Amino acid sequence: MSVSFFQQCVVRPVLRSLVIGLGSAALLGGMMAEAEAAQSRKARSSAVSLAKARVSKGRRAEAPEPISYGRRSGLHSTHDSLSLRSSVALVLDQNSSEILYSKNAEAVLPIASLTKLMTAMVVVEAQLPMDDVLEVTDEDVDNEKHSRSRLSVGTRLSRADMLHLALMSSENRAANALGRHYPGGVTAFVAAMNQKAAQLGMLDTTYVEPTGLSSRNQSSSMDLARLVLAAYQQPLIRDLSTSRGYDVQVGRRLQRFMNTNALVRNPNSGWDIGLQKTGYIAEAGRCLVMQARIAERNIVMVFLDSAGKNSRFADAERVRRWIQSIPPRRDDMGSTVPGGGPSS
């Protein structure tokens, strides 16, 4: 047998088989290694996810969201004939001061951004120049609740614009800036807030700052009704609080701010609202005060610690339907007047 024939018929086929076998083994080894790597990555990912979940769970356990004072006190369990979702409610005839409806009216609770109605009262009655330019600084940043704001540090707006945003959009930095630019600063401003409350006979009311972020800003429904009646006498507060939207130049951008009250924002709501203010912090629940014209009556409504984002507005709708359903009555002169009477 020649060497050439031996190489062709024996050696080369054997070598090809060895090469193919080695290649297949390498390929199989590579596939196995990749599978092991994928399994390892999956295990690491699962471990990281589990660790994050444990951390998150631990954080929730360490800092649970506070429940409202009203819920903690059991006020939510109070039954009322209108099935309101608010712990506290008061409905008042503005002209006669007759209480038409009340629920837990004596309760004193945190009032959140309803505070800004008194902030506006102090600013307006101080007769400070509305065209003065105020600047948002680090002192206006919320370091207690860490609430968001569209007014960045350095924003410069007129006092009128700051007041507009505080009442309409409940801008906390605007409200604090108003207090900070009061003669004597925030300390003097808060003192003026409490002095005005005393003048109005708001004996259950305490203010510690001008935004409502502190749960120590507290009041009762009757006190808040007194505040609404007083604030209604200020045309500027009526106009700014019931504005649906407002464009403000913030830095280089023109920004659109909207009213926090859904009944005001909706042009088809059918409401005739003369003054309003909303409020929310966890300790206070959802809050709302309004003056509105219903069934030929001027009505003041106060709702505190409502459960659910829109429940305070639903409560207002329930009250409106109830007032509209009351038949007219006769006064002492025999004239027909809108009906209604105390209820709870």
Query: Looking at the annotation, which residues are catalytic?
Result: 113, 116, 170
Dihedral pair phi/psi, residue 66, rounded to 5°: -65, 145
Cα four-point dihedral sign 183, 189, 195, 199: positive
Burial of 26 (0-12, 13-18, 19+ CB in 10 A): exposed
The distance of Cα 237 from the centroid of its chain, to the nearest Å, equals 20
Place of tokens 């509105």: 292
Q: How far apart are CA 119 and CA 226, in angstroms?
A: 15
Q: Which amino acid makes up residue 156? A: R
Q: How far apart are CA 280 and CA 258, in angstroms?
A: 16
Q: How far apart are CA 5 and CA 1, in angstroms?
A: 7
Pairing type for strands 218-220 and 253-258 reads unpaired
- In this structure, the chain runs to a length of 344
